[in-house]
A and B are shown apart, each in its own frame.
Chain A
Amino acid sequence: MLVSEMKPDEEILDMLDMAHSIYLVGCNGCAEVCKTGGAKAVAAYRKFLETQDKQVPGICNVDFLCNKVLTGTRLVREIEPIDRSEAILVFSCGVGVQVAGAVVDKPVFPAANTISMGGHFGLWPGAEKCAQCGNCVLGYTGGICPVTGCAKSLVNGQCGGTTRDGDCEVEKGRPCAWLQIYERLKTIDRLDLYRRILAPQDKSKLMPEVKQRKTLYWAIDQDVKPKE
């Protein structure tokens, strides 16, 4: 299953930046198990955000956020509070954040870093969508992942290799993820996020600690006892 951990509060507040009204979307699937999602975790975060001078016009928890159809159908019924929000904070793995970004025209921000997708997968085949990099940057990229989408996994913008058709230099028919990110950020009027310089990915996060891998088949084979 997907293993995620909450981003530090400071990072989340930094991402949300000028946004005052934040709509919260939680996942009741793997993220609930990791306590990065689920009704309880999301409600607790609402309280925290309110202490930070933010408003929360609404909350929606979806059973499996990675199911695009399910999420789309559910969020359509939340259009009114979503419209009143400046940003959407998503409590799920990187796949869920991308689903939310794909179905709503609002800036989406990840509340968690995805560490591992070992074992049972979510419902939207995720390996192509989330690299479990542990340094989720979806909040700066309009909910489109450059780590999986860009052939070079660049985090600071388009290279010089985009073709006239908007494809990646590597393969015809493979869209340039950074061009998609640019178009998306332009649509939601957040090109300021493109201007941010992001730190290089911390590759040490690709090797999660044993205690974080306790749910993986590997760890079950090793008879590692789940403990908090």
Chain B
Amino acid sequence: MAQEPRQQRPLSEEELKAYYRAKRGKNLALLAALVGFIVLVYLVSLVRMGG
């Protein structure tokens, strides 16, 4: 007899909120890292080309 696939527990309201919060935090951190990288590359280019 084929085994039934394992059912995953649906998330509660509180867990969904925490899930949203964590995801939003990660997205903002990634945005900050990307913006920081762009600024860094710009500034490093200025320094390297200037000297």
A and B associate in one complex: no
Interface residues of A (CB under 8 A from B): none
